[in-house]
Structure formats: structure tokens, C-alpha cells
Amino acid sequence: MHYINGENLNIKMINDIIFSDQKIDLTDKAKERINKSRNTVEKLIEKGEVIYGLNTGFGKFSTKKISADKIIKLQENLIISHAAGTGEPLDDNIVKTMILLRVNALAKGYSGIKLNTLNTLIELFNNNIIPLVFEQGSVGASGDLIPLAHMVLPILGKGKVKYKGEIIDSITALKNEGIKPIKLDSKEGLALINGTQMMSAIESLSIIKAKRLANVADMALALSLEGLKGIREPFDKRIHQLRPHPGQIKSAENIRILVENSNLMEDRDDNRVQDSYTLRCGPQIHGATRDSISHAIEIVEREINSVTDNPLIFPDSENVLSGGNFHGQPLALSSDYLGMAVSEIGNVSERRTAKLVDSSLNNGLEMFLTKHGGLNSGYMIAQYTSASIVSENKILANPSSTDSIPTSANQEDHVSMGSISARNLYKICDNVANILAIELLTAAQAVDLRTDNPEDDLGIGTYKIYKLIRNNVKFLGEDRILYPEIKTIKKLIESNLFSNEINNMIDVT
């Protein structure tokens, strides 16, 4: 059980909760804050004050006062009318993370929600009742109104959910788990859907993927260096201390550790002074992405512990203040930035793959890494696949945050498009896993063509990487269908097995 307090959730906790299927609950202090905030809302309603979101319409209808007998209907209509998403359903892990992050934000006690309402949302999470949330609809203005409305529908007994591997009516899943649907009261609809939790959920999970990809990129570079008989000198610690970007220093250190005791790396000589940039500048390129990930973590961890709905309830002063904390600009910009940074890992990886398969560039190995070229194509076409994915990433990496289309009759006259930025980032991460899988396969093939004794000739770290590949994919002696092998290596990347192999050598957290 993980206790949520609205204060200290971080990327590591999200990873542990979501991927270890932990259950969640609120701390006692969070419950106290929630009840105090709710009591304030009810006092203000009793006084008859006109307050946005409590007894008025929404958006352009904010000037329309709603009578007391219509407040419950108002909140239900808000959720129903906003459940207008389209496209494919979001991954289950994204939706569960959305719930987790919304619970964390509401736990801070500035939103006026009832404790029972929030507990019902927690019951969905703990019983793996996954609301069917569609990927398209949010413009990242008043947060992620549309996807969050889909997330909320099931606690009202409406909409569809994924439950035990099937898509069924939410009311059926609730009955199976003994959960009673609720009726929303004043302010509760807004409290549930006015926030940035789709954007922040997708970016949080993308950061988890990106950190893993940064580690695997260093491993792929190290193995490619040995397959290509790369020069050691560019990874000398002294070089990187003179340009002390933390990510660059970390990547260079990783390479040095992984290739330690390698007989395949070479020293500079008069005939070969420098390697090309894809090898020599690997730490600088990978390191810049690492620093971008660190920046994104700072933004996201601040966001997921923030209050992002509107209006905000301040119980101590009994003030209700309207503002714009729901605007997704911080996440839109950081997702775009991180998308570009992660795509660069794929860019340089594909160039190393191209170098590995080209006999004019691979330092004496066979064309396309096959001994019987002509009859066999070897890894020729795998590089095509890598190139096509890199090109796709170049489109996905174009920033969405530079666009804005006004909504709500120009009440929301600047929107962040952060949900699109986050979705593109998530796809880029998936694509880069495939690109790195192809590089790892070609690098292992190059090593086998380079030496008959990988255990003796590879570095102490790269041999572990090589062995994991060869335990799952055999040497390519003759042409065979490659797509299952690319998929296999991608799964090893995504399941963190590459990092697990060397976690006692380099820091892969």
C-alpha cells in the first residue's frame, strides 16, 4: 500500500506503484485537508454567494447562475458533456497513472471534493477497473478536460471500462467489486476534470522510458565501438571534465566502464587519428539527452505535486480564487523538448547502424555483415527500418506547443496543445526502443565477425550485453525473418533487462 499525501510524489514512486501494481490510499492528514476544503465549499453555498464552478455555468457560460436545486445536475452534465474524446483508447498504464496523479493533486485539499468521491476513484485504481479514455480531445487549456471526463465517468456508473481483459459497462465492473456509483455535488465535477493529469501521466511514463533508453543507448554505443574497433581516446575522463555537463560526463563514464579490458578497442595511430562523430561524440550527444531528461523530471515532479484545477478553495480564509493553474504550457514545452532530445538518441543510433553495415565504413567487416553477400542480404534491410523510424521521429519531434487554436468561443484564447506534445513524446520513446534494438543486433553481429572469442575480447560490461543478445537471438549466418528478433530485443529493452545485466557496474537508476 502506498499512501498519497499530495506533497512528495516522484517519478520513481510512479514507476514503483504502476509497474508493481501497488494499491494506494490517502494519508490521514490528506483526508483532514480534503474534509476541511469540502466544509468550506458547503459553507459558501449556504451563504448563497455566486462562485464560478460552484453555482455557475462553465467557460463562456460562467455568467449563468445555477439555482441550488440544479447544482447536482450541473456537475453531472459537466462530466457527460465533456466526455467527447475520440481516437484509440490510451494504454492502461497511462490511465492508471492519470488516476494516481489526480488523486495526488486532490489530496492537497484546495479543490473542495468530497472524501467519498475521491475514495471511489481510488477504488477504481485499486481494483484495476480502467476507464476507457480516448487519446484525442484535449487541447491542454483548462487542463485535460475531455480525457479526465472519460476517466471520471465510471465512478458515476457511466461509460466503459477495461476490466479483467474485457471492455464492459462500468456499472457491471462496479457491481462485481461492490463499489457504489456516486452523485457529484457542487464543485466536484470541476475538481475532477480541471487538471493536467493526462499530459503529466504520459510525460511521467515517457521519462521512465527515456531514462531506460539513455542507458541502453550507452550500451549500444559501447558494443558498436567494439564491433567497429573504435578509438579509446575520446572517452578519456580528462576531456569531459573540461566540458562538465553532467549527462556527458555520465555517458563517457559508462562507456569507459563497459569497454574496460576490451581487446577490440584501439589506440590512435598515424593511420587513424579520429573516428566519425557518431562514435567520437557519443557522450556529448547522449549526454545532452540525459540532461534534457533531468530538466523534464524537474518540471514534471513539480507539476504532479501541484494544484491544477479552478477555482481554488482556501479553507483558512474561506476565499475562492479563480486563476489558470490548469494551463498546460510547462508540460507542453518540456514534452516537446524531451521529444526532440530522445529522438536524437535514435538519430545517432541509426547512423551507427548504417556505419556497421557498410563495408566502406566498418573497418574491414563484410558488407551488410554477411559472409555470403548477394545470396544473403544480411542486415541491409534492418537499417532501412531504422532509417524509416528516424524519419518518422523527425515529424513527431516538431513542437506542438507552438500551435494554439482558441476554444470555448474565444474564452480559452490560448491553448498549450500539451496533450499532443506528450503523446508524440510517448511514441518517440517507443520508436527509439526499436532503433536501439536494431543497433544492438547489428553490433552483436559485427562482434561475431570480428572475433571468435567474444568472452575474451569484449569489455567486461559489453560482454554481458552481448551475451544477453545471443541468449535470445542467434548469429545471422543465413538470411532469416528479422522482425521477431527486433521485437525480442525491444522487449528486453522495455523490460529493463539490459540495465539489470550491468546494474552492479554503472548507475542505471
Instruction: Kindly list the catalytic residues.
Output: 52
C-alpha separations of 85 from 124, 146, 190 in Å: 20, 6, 17
CB 240 within 8 A of CB 463: no
Q: How far apart are CA 137 and CA 419, in angstroms?
A: 9
Q: How far apart are CA 371 and CA 477, in angstroms?
A: 8
CB 297 within 8 A of CB 204: no
3-state DSSP assignment of residue 195: strand
The candidate with the shortest Cα–Cα distance to 436, out of 340, 503, 346, 509, is 346
Q: Helical H runs in 228-328?
A: 237-241, 246-258, 277-280, 282-303
The candidate with the shortest Cα–Cα distance to 423, out of 52, 70, 135, is 135
CB 306 within 8 A of CB 174: no
CB 300 within 8 A of CB 331: yes
Does the N-terminal peptide bond of residue 311 adopt cis geometry, omega within 30 degrees of 0?
A: yes
Q: How far apart are CA 454 and CA 439, in angstroms?
A: 18
Burial of 318 (0-12, 13-18, 19+ CB in 10 A): middle
Q: How far apart are CA 110 and CA 324, in angstroms?
A: 14
Q: How far apart are CA 66 and CA 56, in angstroms?
A: 5
Residues 6+ apart with CB under 8 A from 491: none
CB 248 within 8 A of CB 240: yes
Burial of 141 (0-12, 13-18, 19+ CB in 10 A): buried
Q: How far apart are CA 386 and CA 436, in angstroms?
A: 9
Residue type, 282: G
